[in-house]
Amino acid sequence: MHETIALTVGTAVLDTVIISSFFLINISNASDEKPGRFFEDQPDITDDFQIHFNYLIASDGEDREWDINGKMEKILLELNEVMAKATAANKKGDGIPRKYKFDYRKDGKLDITFVRLDMKKKDLHKWANNDIVPFLFKKNGMNNVKKIYFNYADMNNVDGGEAGIGYGSLYLRNKSVGSDERKLIITLHELLHTQGMGYNCVPGIKAGDTHYNSKPGYMLESGKKIGSVYAHKVEGCPQMMDSVYLTPTRPDPWDPYMHGCLFQLGKYDHKKIRKVLDKMKKNSEKYINYKTRFTTSCKIRDWNRVKGQKGFYIFGVEENIALNIK
């Protein structure tokens, strides 16, 4: 089923597009019903950009109650204090401490949703986000483009965490995230990826990668310092300091979804970004490899349509985004 709407993101109104309507599915078991637990994203207390957190398990996964036992909230609130300290200390920043805009409930508690997938652990892709993201977007209603959806996934995976624009996951049963400190550090790292960091035009980012070129102790390696992705003064290149997902928000902020999924560049049109987009436009009706990018992957890219139609498609939008690159 489809409906035609004008998609509005922040203050920008996109061209009218065809948006798919999806039927929501609740996969939870009767035993999942527990005091203090929520199975849906709770009513927002603001219409601002936000990061929403899920405690997520496979259909046959063990429920260790991370959403209601306080463990997730403790780590995430501490993480935001680390973020404030790192942003204030950044030498090229403006000295103002900034935190992520987390999604809170009306009672002041962090809004954490319990999600049980419709797939068993053994059936999930080796990169589990390949199955998690379509489930959340199409079946669970977690498709607000003004939100980042980040999972504490109670399962193992090939890596401790994996994220891109719009969605990310920390895998609680991976041996690399054993301590709370490691969970915090890897979440810091992956949240930067949800913002599109690191861009190919940011000083110190590896060529063809989205990580720092050997900078231990920094978030885009493994640490608590934020470095040049936060502030760098390179004209035409996004800096984390200006993200819509940080508070206090700076004037004229940028939105990673608009920039990295819809390719509406605005003033962030650095020649390295433009070079990649020119290549994508040239190959707009051919297969566009995931390595053809200037930022982290847009996690709502619809790879099933790419197989049949080539180009660059995302969930919820019928048109080939690559055809409209300007």
Q: 117: phi > 0 → left, psi -120 to 50 → alpha, else beta; which?
A: beta
Is residue 41 within 8 A of residue 53, CB to CB? The reply is no
Which has the closest alpha carbon to 143: 221, 216, 52, 208?
A: 52
Report the percent of the chain where pLDDT is more than 90.
Answer: 79
* Digit-coded pLDDT (tens) for 63-118: 999 999 999 999 999 999 999 999 999 999 999 999 999 999 999 999 999 999 99
Structure pTM? 0.91
CATH 3.40.390 applies to domain 25-255: yes
Tell me: pLDDT of 50 over 80: yes
* Digit-coded pLDDT (tens) for 123-162: 999 999 999 999 999 999 999 999 999 999 999 999 999 9
Q: Distance between CA atoms of 152 and 73, rounded to whole angstroms?
A: 11
Q: Distance between CA atoms of 116 and 128, rounded to whole angstroms?
A: 14
Residue of higher predicted confidence among 289 and 28: 289
Give pLDDT, residue 321.
95
Give pLDDT, residue 26.
61
Averaged pLDDT of the chain: 90
Split at pLDDT 50, 70, 90, the class of 62 is: very high
Which has the closest alpha carbon to 14: 319, 291, 182, 262?
A: 262
Tell me: pLDDT of 59 over 50: yes
Split at pLDDT 50, 70, 90, the class of 24 is: low
Alpha-helical runs (H) found in the chain = 71-89, 129-134, 180-194, 256-260, 271-282, 303-309
Tell me: pLDDT of 261 over 70: yes
Give pLDDT, residue 206.
77
* Digit-coded pLDDT (tens) for 184-243: 999 999 999 999 998 999 998 877 778 876 677 999 889 999 999 999 999 999 999 999
Tell me: pLDDT of 276 over 50: yes
Give pLDDT, residue 140.
95
CB atoms within 10 A of CB 89: 14
| Mean pLDDT of the 169-177 span | 97
